[in-house]
Amino acid sequence: MKKLVKPALLSDPELMRARQRPLEHRHRKDRFFKRLCQGVSSISALVLVVLLVAILLQGIRTLNTQFLGGVADPDPTIAGLFPALMGSVWLLVITMVVALPLGVSAAIILEEFQPRRPVLRRVHDFIQLNITNLSGVPSVVFGILGLTVFVSMFGLFGNEQNPSYEVGATYVDQFYNEGDFIIEVPIADSQQEEVVPKEGLAAFTHDGEPILVHLLGDDEDWPEDLALAKRSLRSWDLPGRIKERDWWYFRLPFGRGILTGALTLMLVILPIIIISSQEALRAVPSSLRQASLGLGATPWQTVRYVTLPAAFPGILTGAIIAMSRAIGEAAPLLMIAGIVFITNAPGNLMDDFTAMPLQIYNWAGRPQKEFHDLAASGIIVLLSALLTFNAVAVILRQKLQKPLS
C-alpha cells in the first residue's frame, strides 16, 4: 500500500516553529541568501572577465593579418597561426561530418526504438550506461585509444611508409643530374622498380616540359649546351622517389594524419552528442508521437516527420556545444600529432597537421615572452571561434524553437 505523504509543513515541528518566528527574521535570511548567490556568481564572472582582459591585453598587439596568415617560425616577429588554424578547421569539419550522423542515429535508436524483450532491454540499458560513463572519461584516454586503433590499426595494414592500401597518390622518380637539373619520371605505382637511366627515356623537366633522357658516357664531359644538359644523366645516377598526394589521398592505416585526429575527437564528443540528442528527443511531448502513430504512421515515419523535426533545435544546440569542446581539445591531439614544426596547411585527410590548441601549447611552453604574446593572440582566435559557435547555438535555438504543445 502506498504511504500517505503528509504536507512537509504540517509533519515537521521545526518548520512549524520557524513559521511562527517574526516575519522580519525570515526576510533577513532571504536577503542574505540572495546576496550570497549574487556574490558567488559575480566571483565566477569576475574571474572570466579578468582572464579575458588579461589575454586581450597581452595578445591584441600581435593579432594581425601577418599572424593569421603566417606560419611557424623560430622568429616570433614573423611566426603565424595559419597551419594550425587550417588544421583546426579541417579537424572540426571532419569531426562533425562523422560524429553528427553517428551520434544522432545512436540517440534515435536508444530513445525512439527501445526494445521490449527483456534480453534486448538489458543490452539497451548496458549501452546506455556505457555512453553515460564514456562522456565522463578524460579525453587523453581517447587519445591513447586513437593511437592504437587509427594510427597503426593494430599493425594489420603495414605502416605509414608502406601502407597496404592507398589511393590518390602518384609516384615520381626524381633525378638530380650533375648540372643541378631535376629530371622527373612518372611511376605507375609504389611497387615499381627504380627507374634506370636509359637513352631516350621519356621524362619531364622540373616545370613539366617533356624531354627524352640523354645518357652520357662515363668519361664524357658534361655538355656545355644547356638544352642537352637539362636532359642528360649518367649511368650511375640514382633516382629518389617522391609521393604526390592528391586531395583525395587515402590510405590504410590512417597514420598520424588529420583523419586520425578527427576520428579521435569524434570519440571524445560522441557521448556528448548522443546524450544531448537523447535529451532533445525526450523533450518532445509524447502526445505528438501518439497522434502520429494514431494516424497510422509507422514508428520510422513518426521519427522522420514528427519527432526529429521537433527535436532538431535541441540536437543542433548539443552538436554546437560538442563542436566547441572539440575545437579546444589539446590532450588527445597531443598523443596523435605531438608537437611539430609544420609550415603547411593540410591538403588531404592523411597529412600531418597541427591544431590551434597544440600551437598555443607549444608557444606558451617556450621561455621567451614574445612567444607568450603569440600564445595569447592564438587564444583570442580560439576564444572568438568558441564564442561564435556558442552564439550561433543560441540564435539557432531561438529561431527554430517552436511551441510543441
Partner 1 sequence: MKISLQNFVAALGAAALLLGLAPDASAQASALRGNIVVDGSSTVYPITEAAAAAFRKEFPKVNVTVAVSGTGGGFKRFVVGETDISDASRPIKPKEFKQAKQNGVEFIELPVALDGLSVVLNPNNTWVKQLTIDNLKAIYLEGGKARKWSDLNPEWPDATIKVYSPGTDSGTFDYFKEVVAGKTGSFRPDMSTSEDDNVLVTGVSGDKYAIGYFGASYYFENKDKIRAAAIVNPKTGKAEMPTPENVISGAYAPLSRPLFIYVNTKSLRRPAMRKFVEFYLANAAKFATKVQYVSTSDKIAALAKDFLKKRRTGTVFVTAENHEGGPVYHKREAPLDAAYHPQNLLGTK
CB of 41 to partner 1, least distance (A): 33
Check binding of 238 to partner 1 (CB under 8 A). Answer: yes
Tell me which stretch binds partner 1 (CB under 8 A): 12-20, 113-121, 236-244, 270-278: 236-244
Among 128, 135, 170, 174, interactor with partner 1 by CB under 8 A:
174
Size of the site for partner 1 (CB under 8 A): 36
**Nearest alpha carbon to residue 261 among 383, 354, 169:** 354
DSSP labels, 304-321: IIIIHHHHHHHHHHHHHH
DSSP labels, 252-307: ES-TTSHHHHHHHHHHHHHHHHHHHHHHHHHTS-HHHHHHHHHTT--HHHHIIIII
Q: Where are the beta strands (DSSP E) in 65-194?
A: 165-176, 182-187
Nearer to partner 1, 237 or 329 (CB): 237
Per-residue mark of binding to partner 1, 131-170 (x: CB under 8 A): ----------------------------xxx---------
Check binding of 239 to partner 1 (CB under 8 A). Answer: yes
Phi, psi at residue 22, to the nearest 5°? -60, 150
CB of 243 to partner 1, least distance (A): 8
Three cell numbers, residue 243: 609521393
Check binding of 329 to partner 1 (CB under 8 A). Answer: no
Among 1, 14, 226, 296, interactor with partner 1 by CB under 8 A:
226
Cα-only R_g, the chain: 31
Cα separation, 278 vs 206, whole angstroms: 57
Check binding of 71 to partner 1 (CB under 8 A). Answer: yes
Element (H, E) at 246: strand 240-252
Sign of CA dihedral 65, 67, 72, 75: positive
Per-residue mark of binding to partner 1, 182-201 (x: CB under 8 A): x-------------------
CB of 96 to partner 1, least distance (A): 26
Among 264, 352, 374, 385, interactor with partner 1 by CB under 8 A:
352
Three cell numbers, residue 67: 599572424
What residues numbered 1-60 form the site for partner 1, per CB under 8 A? none
Three-state SS for 168? Answer: strand
CB of 386 to partner 1, least distance (A): 26
Phi, psi at residue 245, to the nearest 5°? -105, 125
Cα separation, 307 vs 304, whole angstroms: 7
**Nearest alpha carbon to residue 321 among 398, 393, 264:** 393
Check binding of 233 to partner 1 (CB under 8 A). Answer: no
DSSP labels, 201-245: -EEEETTS-EEE-EEPPSSPPPPS-HHHHTTEE-TT---EEEEEE
CB atoms within 10 A of CB 76: 16
Three-state SS for 167? Answer: strand
**Angle ∠(253,254,259) on CA atoms, nearest 5:** 165
Tell me which stretch binds partner 1 (CB under 8 A): 11-19, 53-61, 121-129, 175-183: 175-183
Cα separation, 88 vs 346, whole angstroms: 10
Among 63, 72, 107, 310, interactor with partner 1 by CB under 8 A:
72
What residues numbered 242-261 form the site for partner 1, per CB under 8 A? 242-244
Tell me which stretch binds partner 1 (CB under 8 A): 15-23, 66-74, 87-95, 310-318: 66-74
Among 181, 304, 330, 372, interactor with partner 1 by CB under 8 A:
181
Among 24, 189, 207, 221, interactor with partner 1 by CB under 8 A:
207
Scan for cell 536508444, then name that residue. Answer: 110
Nearer to partner 1, 112 or 352 (CB): 352
CB of 331 to partner 1, least distance (A): 15
Per-residue mark of binding to partner 1, 363-402 (x: CB under 8 A): --xxxx----------------------------------
CB of 384 to partner 1, least distance (A): 27
Q: Which residues bind partner 1 (CB under 8 A)?
A: 71-75, 159-161, 174-176, 180-182, 206-207, 226, 238-244, 338-344, 352, 365-368
